[in-house]
Amino acid sequence: MKYKSSMKVKTSITLSKDILEAIDRIIVKPQNRSAFIENALRDYLKKRAKKLRDEKDLEILNKRADRLNREVEDVLSNQVEL
């Protein structure tokens, strides 16, 4: 999932005071809260998309595991010992 840097839209969110304090402690200037939160959300969305892809791939592999295992066994049985 790729996100383009596009037009900014002003929005309002409510965060816990402790979250804001933690953000303020680790923000590297000249970054501001908005930039920090946007970057954090981009990272989260990328990780979430990857997790969903990985889960889908695993589901496909599990559905085809018996056939794939038979193919591997067939290949291995035809190999010559060295």
Q: Which residues contact 42 (CB under 8 A, 6 or more apart)?
A: 3
Query: Tell me, what's the pLDDT at 28?
Result: 84
CA distance 33 to 4: 20
Distance from C-alpha of 16 to C-alpha of 62, rounded to nearest angstrom: 41
pLDDT tens digit sequence for 29-74: 888 999 999 999 999 999 999 999 999 999 999 999 999 899 999 8
pLDDT surpassing 80 at residue 4: no
pTM of the model: 0.66
Instruction: Establish how many alpha carbons lie within 13 A of residue 42's alpha carbon, considering only the half-sphere containing its beta carbon.
Output: 10
Q: What is the pLDDT of residue 1?
A: 60
Please state the domain extents for the chain.
Answer: 17-77
What pLDDT score does 81 carry? 74
Q: Residue 4: name the closest of 33, 42, 34, 44 by CA.
A: 42
